[in-house]
Chains A and B, each alone.
Chain A
Amino acid sequence: MELSLATRTVAEHTVLEVGGEVDVYTAPRLRERLIELVDAGARDVVVDLERVEFLDSTGLGVLVGALKRLRTAQGTFGLVCAKEPLLKIFRITALDQVFPIFPTVEAATERDGSGPAS
């Protein structure tokens, strides 16, 4: 399935819902959207991966880039992911120690929920 991107606001957080396949071909579109959001002033960003069917190293690189961008901008960055196959990818790459990962959008957008991007 092609990449889909949709943005909404939840509890003063910008939530980017990602669906479909994030790979070497589609990841540049995700990178562009995240840069646009930060450039437009978003500072508390949550990327919801619940509808992602495939995520590779290129997509992970884009997410780390967004985390760093928000860290520089004094913002916060969190991920929503409860799917075991995706969680395994974060564990194997040790990126589960880099990203705040939440099971639901509600948990990720609670005040002080995502914490400082670190």
Chain B
Amino acid sequence: MATVRLSFSPAPVHVRTARLVGVAVARRAGVDEALLDEVRLAIGEACTRAVALHRQYGLTELVTVEMSDSGSYTVRVIDHAPIEASIGLTKLPPDELAAESLTEDDLTTGVGFALLAGFVDDLQVRPVEDGPGTEVRMVWPVARR
């Protein structure tokens, strides 16, 4: 089992780094080339969400991305924000997307979740085991080598 772990301070500039590393490890793990765009987007969305939550709560703790390729390619993005913050993850109906009452931040959150749910067949969002925070766990198949 090969595992790569990346931790970064909750700044938007580092999300691109996380995407690049996540895709590089996915390619090395044997994820189909046709899925790599979706892997890139999903890791980016999960990290964007984590960074937004840390900034919202003024947390300076690092966001962690853990990638492993034992049997399948599994990516876990771990934040340390209070768990209540994650409850509002719902897909927005089309007629509400451009509603004046919807703030850009809320729209981005809803759209980000729609992208995660749409691009990741095996997606789990659950509390971390120790302390506050949530883990977004995404799994993709790998080709047999």
Contact = CB atoms under 8 A, between A and B. Distances in A.
A85 B100 CA distance: 28
A40 B71 CA distance: 55
Interface stretch (A17-25, A41-49, A101-109): A17-25
B100 A58 contact: no
Interface in B66-115: 92-94, 97-98, 100, 104-105, 107-109, 111-112, 114-115
B98 A56 contact: no
Given A25-B15, A56-B48, A65-B104, A98 B98 contact: yes
B104 A56 contact: no
Given A56-B48, A60-B108, A94 B15 contact: no
**Count class of interface residues, chain A:** 20 to 34
> Dominant SS at the A interface?
helix
Interface in A68-104: 68, 71, 85, 89, 92-95, 97-98
Contacts of B112: 56-58
Going nearest first, the 3 A-B pairs with the smallest beta carbon separation are A92-B118, A57-B112, A61-B108
Interface of B: 12-13, 15-16, 19, 37, 40-41, 44-45, 48, 51-52, 92-94, 97-98, 100, 104-105, 107-109, 111-112, 114-115, 118-119
29 contacts: A23-B16, A23-B48, A24-B51, A25-B12, A54-B44, A56-B45, A56-B48, A56-B115, A57-B45, A57-B108, A57-B109, A57-B112, A60-B107, A61-B104, A61-B108, A64-B97, A67-B98, A85-B37, A89-B41, A92-B119, A93-B97, A93-B111, A94-B93, A94-B94, A94-B114, A95-B111, A97-B94, A98-B94, A98-B98
